[in-house]
C-alpha cells in the first residue's frame, strides 16, 4: 500500500474509533448486542464447541500414537527368511 493510502487509512481509523467511542448510540448498541448474545447462550455454545474440538483432537492423537507404536513394532520385526 502506498504511503498516502496508509496515511488515509490511519486518519480514517482514528476518526472512526474516536467517533464510535464517544457515541452514546453505539455504546447502547454494543451493550444490547452483548446482552442478547449472553441470553442467547452464544458464549456457552462457543465454549462447548471448543471443548468438543479439544476432546476430538485428544482422541485422534491417542489413536495416532497407537498406530505409530504398531508400525514401529512391525518395522523392528525380522523379515521372513
Q: Mean pLDDT in runs of 10 for the chain (81 residues)?
A: 85 86 90 83 74 89 90 79 63
- Per-residue pLDDT, 81: 63
Between the two ends of the chain, the Cα-to-Cα distance in Å is 67
- Per-residue pLDDT, 42: 67
**Does the model's pTM come out above 0.85?**
no
- Per-residue pLDDT, 75: 81
Q: Which residues are CB-contacts of 20 (< 8 A; sequence separation ≥ 6)?
A: 26
Beta strands in 1-81 (DSSP E): none
- Per-residue pLDDT, 25: 92
Amino acid at each position: 500500500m502506498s504511503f498516502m493510502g496508509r496515511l488515509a487509512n490511519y486518519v480514517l481509523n482514528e476518526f472512526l474509533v474516536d467517533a464510535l467511542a464517544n457515541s452514546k448510540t453505539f455504546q447502547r448498541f454494543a451493550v444490547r448486542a452483548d446482552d442478547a448474545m449472553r441470553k442467547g447462550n452464544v458464549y456457552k455454545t462457543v465454549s462447548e464447541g471448543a471443548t468438543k474440538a479439544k476432546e476430538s483432537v485428544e482422541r485422534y492423537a491417542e489413536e495416532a500414537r497407537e498406530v505409530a507404536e504398531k508400525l514401529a513394532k512391525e518395522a523392528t520385526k525380522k523379515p521372513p527368511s
